[in-house]
């Protein structure tokens, strides 16, 4: 019998995770995906003691938002967390008005599990065991799926019913845009999705929409990615036609040992992602000190013969231009390698 097409990628991912779990592995702490706890749903407001005039006034002022009939919450912020708060508000409304069994699934389950998101459409995915009659016809952001879920594909997070990590991962890599799918895949494996559980769900999903993309995303997945930006950067490198990079490559220099975000060790090329968060102070320390440490790190790597390409969020907005930068650096490293080989030739 021919082997399932997704199994080689599953074996590779399982091997990566096994090495990360080793007690002596410096990457062991990455398995938490930097999530302290899954996101909390907003509290539903008790408006039973509020007269209709007062409630109407607060709704008109935008202080209170109606999520579902008789389900109200404080208005979400308009800042950087607006997407998260809007989605969680919808989850609260659906949960409080549910009349039958349901499980949040796909990208919604990924967020409730605490996984990373990247340009994920603002949709709330709900899976029902049977077709449901929905009274509201204005659920623009709600996507309802109707399929029976086995017990092993169901769980809950903070009391909210969601699909299991493995089922969530496969649903995401089948249905999300490709870049968003890679980010979710890396993160969900780090959060604990079992490779062989994922393999089972992949086999059960054979013939479903998006299964071809799902296999491709598994091929591209690497749970050693330390941030959504690194996951996207690795995908851009793959689309540039470069060899498969190594995540968190360990490099010894005269100034110490460093782990590179995305590396091509054969030619000593490193692609380093600079997220804004580490320059924002707090647990990352003084921003000026962080920048000085980054500069010292880059100098040490360059003295060790590495070409370092630094990438920021705005670079990811133009993947074609970024691909050209990455290919140019790889070609330059090839010329250096060839020149060095000729210099040492007898």
- Pick from 277-286, 298-307, 337-346: least confident: 277-286
pLDDT at residue number 37: 63
**What's the pLDDT score for residue 76?**
67
Range ranked top by mean pLDDT from 18-32, 132-146, 239-253: 239-253
CA distance 26 to 20: 8
Q: Which tokens belong to 62?
A: 């935008």
Is the pLDDT confidence value at 287 over 80?
no
Tens digits of per-residue pLDDT, 127-182? 998 776 555 545 678 899 999 999 999 999 988 999 999 999 999 999 999 999 99
Q: Residues 314, 228: contact at Cβ < 8 Å?
A: no
Exposure string for 306-337, b = 16+ CB within 10 A, e = fewer: bbbbebeeebbeebeebbebbeebbeebeeee
Candidates 316, 152, 314; CA nearest to 231 is 316
CB atoms inside a 10 Å sphere around CB 216? 17
Confidence of residue 280 (pLDDT cuts 50, 70, 90): very low
- Cβ contact 124:86 at 8 Å: no
Least confident residue range of 28-32, 226-230, 280-284: 280-284
Q: Is residue 303 predicted with pLDDT exceeding 50?
A: yes
What is the pLDDT, as a whole number, of residue 200? 97
Reported as a single tens digit per residue, the pLDDT across 67-100 is 666 666 677 665 556 677 778 888 888 888 788 8
Each residue of 206-241: pLDDT tens digit?
999 999 999 999 999 999 999 999 999 999 999 999
CATH number of 229-343: 3.40.960.10
H or E stretch at 319:
helix 319-343
Q: Which fold is adopted by the domain 7-222?
A: Beta Polymerase; domain 2 (3.30.460)
**What integer best gives the mean pLDDT of the chain?**
85
Can you give the pLDDT at residue 322?
97
Question: In the chain, which residues fall in CATH 3.30.460?
Answer: 7-222
Structure tokens at 57: 């006034």
Domain with CATH 3.40.960.10 in the chain: 229-343
Higher pLDDT, 123 or 47: 123
Q: What is the pLDDT of residues 34-76, one digit of tens each?
A: 555 667 776 666 556 677 777 777 777 776 667 666 666 677 6
Weakest-pLDDT range from 87-91, 274-278, 312-316: 274-278
Q: Label residue 278 exposed, middle or buried (CB < 10 Å: 0-12, 13-18, 19+).
A: middle
**Above pLDDT 70, what percent of the chain?**
81
Burial letters 220-236, b for 16+ CB under 10 A, else e: bbbbbbbbbbbbbbbbb
Query: Confidence band (pLDDT; 50, 70, 90) for 285?
Result: low
- Say which range, 146-150, 325-329, 335-339, has the weakest mean pLDDT: 335-339
End-to-end, the C-alpha distance of the chain in Å comes to 53
* pLDDT at position 26 over 70: yes
């Amino acid at each position: 019998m021919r082997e399932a097409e997704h199994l080689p990628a599953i074996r590779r991912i399982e091997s990566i995770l096994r090495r990360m779990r080793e007690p002596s592995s410096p990457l062991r702490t990455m398995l938490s995906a930097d999530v302290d706890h899954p996101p909390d749903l907003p509290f539903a407001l008790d408006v039973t003691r509020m007269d209709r005039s007062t409630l109407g006034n607060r709704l008109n002022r935008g202080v209170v938002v109606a999520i579902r009939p008789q389900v109200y919450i404080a208005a979400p912020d308009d800042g950087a967390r607006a997407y998260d708060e809007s989605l969680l508000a919808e989850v609260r409304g659906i949960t409080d008005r549910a009349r039958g069994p349901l499980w949040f699934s796909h990208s919604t389950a990924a967020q409730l599990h605490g996984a990373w998101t990247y340009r994920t459409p603002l949709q709330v995915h709900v899976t029902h065991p049977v077709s449901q009659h929905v009274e509201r016809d204005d659920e623009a952001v709600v996507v309802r799926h109707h399929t029976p879920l086995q017990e092993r594909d169901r769980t809950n997070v903070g009391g909210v019913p969601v699909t299991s990590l493995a089922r969530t991962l496969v649903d995401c890599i089948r249905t999300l845009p490709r870049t968003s799918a890679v980010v979710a895949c890396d993160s969900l494996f780090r959060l604990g999705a079992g490779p062989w559980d994922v393999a089972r769900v992949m086999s059960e999903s054979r013939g479903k929409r998006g299964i071809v993309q799902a296999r491709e995303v598994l091929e591209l997945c690497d749970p050693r990615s330390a941030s959504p930006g690194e996951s996207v950067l690795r995908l851009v490198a793959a689309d540039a036609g470069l060899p498969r990079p190594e995540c968190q490559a360990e490099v010894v220099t005269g100034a110490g040992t460093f782990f590179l975000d995305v590396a091509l060790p054969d030619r000593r090329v490193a692609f380093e992602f600079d997220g804004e968060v580490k320059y924002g102070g707090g647990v990352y320390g003084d921003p000026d000190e962080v920048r000085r440490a980054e500069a010292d790190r880059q100098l040490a790597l360059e003295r060790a013969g590495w070409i370092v390409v630094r990438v920021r969020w705005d670079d990811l907005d133009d993947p074609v231009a970024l691909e050209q930068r990455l290919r140019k650096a790889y070609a330059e490293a090839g010329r250096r390698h060839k020149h060095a080989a000729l210099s040492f030739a007898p």
